[in-house]
Amino acid sequence: MDRGGIVAQRPSVYRGQGFSLRGEKNRFVLPPSFRKVFAENDDERVLCLIQHDRFPCLSAFGLSRSTSFEDVLDKEEENAVRRGEDFDRDLRAMQLYGFVEVPFDASGRFILPDHLAGLAGIDDNICFLGGGQFITLWDLDRLQAMGSAFAAPHAACAALAKDARAKAEGKKR
């Protein structure tokens, strides 16, 4: 589909779970399954990070997703008008476009900015959850505190965490 000279591509689809411990040089690692989606849809290795609008975690996506933000704003504004609700387009635009661009290397290593880690309560681990057009990044304990609605992804991340910690302990010996 052509949108004013820009050819729309297939949207990124992130699915599954991943886990990373904070490693050497204060870096985390974006899991391979998510890196693959970035490689297929974005020319740059940049993780766009922002505080999630409802959950105590971060949202992440590739730069290519930002090309759809004007369409998102239009749709949200139309929906608000149809429901007779106020819509502050400027505020919503700041929320969408207020992401931080964090580079990652070919191995997926990146440094999570301290202010974002603090917003999401992330300390020494990140659980990555695919959410379709975005990824959420969680601290394992915060994910568990979300209750039964998040039981399955928490169980998957807890198993990945156990394996990662065992591997890290094995390297120390």
**Domain locations in the chain?**
2-62+101-172
Report how far apart the first and last C-alpha atoms of the chain are (Å, whole number): 55
Q: How far apart are CA 117 and CA 159, in angstroms?
A: 22
Average pLDDT over residues 134-159: 96
- Write down the pLDDT at residue 9: 54
H or E segment at 46?
strand 46-51
- Burial environment of residue 133 by CB neighbours within 10 A (0 to 12, 13 to 18, 19 or more): middle
Name, in order, each residue with C-beta under 8 angstroms of 98's C-beta and a sequence gap of 6 or more. Answer: 50
- Write down the pLDDT at residue 10: 57
pLDDT digit string, tens, across residues 92-109: 999 889 999 999 999 999
- 113 — phi, psi (to 5°)? -60, 140
For domain 2-62+101-172, give its CATH number from 1.10.150.120, 3.40.1550.20, 3.10.20.30, 3.30.750.24. 3.40.1550.20
pLDDT digit string, tens, across residues 18-53: 999 999 899 999 999 999 888 787 778 999 999 998
